[in-house]
Amino acid sequence: MPGACAKHAASAAALFVADGYRAWLSPSAVAKAARLARAAAPLETGGMLLGQVVDGEAHILAVTGPGRKVRLARYTFESDRVRDNRLVRRVWPRLRYLGDWHTHPGGRPVLSAMDLASIRETLTQETPALLELLLAGPPGMDFFEAALFTVVLGEDTPRRMTGGGA
């Protein structure tokens, strides 16, 4: 049961809230993102946030790493969306795409204008809101701050979600 699975994961997950938007971030998803962040540092990396939506609340249960054709550079990160979507359907048939995550090694936990522009390109009437998880820390990413945002179609400013149980 997807519902039972999400409920179980939520028991240890951190809740992030922005107005009516609620998202649970599982510790295992954060741990994997942190591992990928350290491996790629001082370059940026990222991938997708996967999970389930239960009673209108997003449960982030897994993250993916960068796609094969990914372009890694100090300040730009671009994923291979077509490959990503194929991968989700094959490997995680019960999970859906909730948004993306990426890192700012040696940077701040705020979305850049470029970040925001690329997230906005992904928003459609079918997916009018997406999550973006940002891990920011020193160049080596030995530690980091996790910031979660909801970006909503037609809104100028991303909603920074508060919480996380820090």
Q: Using CB under 5 A as the criterion, which residues of the chain lie in contact with Zn ion when the complex forms?
A: 112, 115
Which residue's beta carbon is nearest to the bound Zn ion?
115
- Least Å distance between CB 1 and Zn ion? 36
- Least Å distance between CB 22 and Zn ion? 23
For residues 100 and 115, which CB has a smaller minimum distance to Zn ion in the complex? 115
Given a contact cutoff of 8 angstroms between Cβ atoms, the answer to whether 25 and 61 are in contact is no
- Least Å distance between CB 104 and Zn ion? 5
Residue matched to tokens 């295992």: 28
For residues 13 and 134, which CB has a smaller minimum distance to Zn ion in the complex? 134
Given a contact cutoff of 8 angstroms between Cβ atoms, the answer to whether 149 and 161 are in contact is yes
For residues 15 and 116, which CB has a smaller minimum distance to Zn ion in the complex? 116
User: Residues 6 or more apart from 143 whose CB is under 8 A from it?
Assistant: 137
DSSP string of 116-162, one letter each residue: HHHHHHH--SSS-EEEEEEEEESTT-SS-EEEEEEEETT-SS-EEEE
- Least Å distance between CB 100 and Zn ion? 10
Given a contact cutoff of 8 angstroms between Cβ atoms, the answer to whether 18 and 160 are in contact is yes
Find, among 58, 67, 109, the residue nearest to 86 by Cα. 67
For residues 95 and 101, which CB has a smaller minimum distance to Zn ion in the complex? 101
For residues 75 and 143, which CB has a smaller minimum distance to Zn ion in the complex? 75
- Least Å distance between CB 132 and Zn ion? 9
